Amino acid sequence: MAKPLNQQVIVITGASQGIGRETALQLATKGASLVLAARNDEALAELARQVERLGGQAETVVTDVAEHEQVERLAQRAIDRFGRIDTWVNNAAVSIYATVEQMEPEEMERLVRVNLLGQMYGARAAIPHLKRQGGGTIVNVGSALSERAVPLQSAYVASKHGIQGFSEALRLELMHEQTGIDVVLILPSSMNTPLFNFARSKMGVQPMPVPPVYEPRAVAEAICHAAEHGGREIVVGGWGKLLTVGQWLSPSLLDRYMLQGARAWKQQKTDRPDDARDNLFEPSTGPGATTGDFGQGSKSTSLYTTHLELHPGRKRAALAALLLAMLALVRRIGR
């Protein structure tokens, strides 16, 4: 259900850093009323001040999305302050860089509780309120890794695959009930966010995003678009779409590409020693940040997303052209 952002109350989890923080700032400039959730109370307070300086309204709620009671409380605080919820953005996430053997069971469980169950709890808390209003939007932030796995991030990848499956099932249920609630899955490519500063690493060095890298602004723009216009799925970054197409065409070829010279391992490692700082179990401290340490050469926007993903008609036409080209190639090879 399309609704101007300046008429919306929007809940954002994982609001203290990165994509969530940038989304809040963009929405503030558009006049939305915001309910900001994260574990870092200092960062939330600073973000609320920035939102108010931009002319917006903000309620902050310290929340660990791995605890369903806290997520239910978050929804109620939104109702108590603003009287309704129009869009719920499930964005909170943590990360671990390690092989499966290196991870402890409690680390695996914690990541899945935050990344996957946190989104399930969020949707469950939001749906009754959205139904009462006759519709709204649930935005689930997944990843390009929802489509294709990489080594050293098995738990993270599993959680993001789970988010994709959950989003598809939830969308069908809400469509069947004719609720007027859109479920939009956002699939970002590699992003320059503080996630890498706070990821738990067992590689001996600090992790880094696989290039090309985009700025959080690009994802925030997609989330704002989803909140206002609804939809189904938005891929942010052409690299993410190429990864999806590659997985569709030849997953074994992608395997060989990643294995060649241990490319997929090397691309995720910096040369900086791991500082043993992470937010897996305990929240980060400090005022929070929007961007990380990988801005050099990063892209502030994605032309692919801007010109195709945010325009479904163009996207369908481009996909049809691609399929026709592939069919012609197959026929030529078969002669």
Alpha helices, DSSP H, located in the chain: 18-29, 41-53, 68-82, 105-112, 118-132, 154-176, 195-198, 216-229, 238-249, 251-259, 263-266, 303-304, 312-334
Take residue 130 and report the two structure tokens written for it. 């959205």
**Inter-CA distances, 327 with 245, 253, 320, 333, Å:** 15, 20, 11, 10
Active-site residue, selected from the candidate residues 97, 156, 214, 304: 156
- DSSP secondary structure code for residue 276 in this structure: -
Q: For residues 322 and 324, give the distance between their C-alpha atoms in angstroms, rounded to a whole number.
A: 5
Report whether the peptide linkage leading into residue 212 is cis, meaning its omega lies within 30 degrees of zero.
yes
Report the Cα–Cα distance between both ends of the chain, in Å, rounded: 49
Q: For residues 180 and 50, give the distance between their C-alpha atoms in angstroms, rounded to a whole number.
A: 33
**Residue 214 catalytic?**
no
Query: Which residues carry out catalysis?
Result: 156
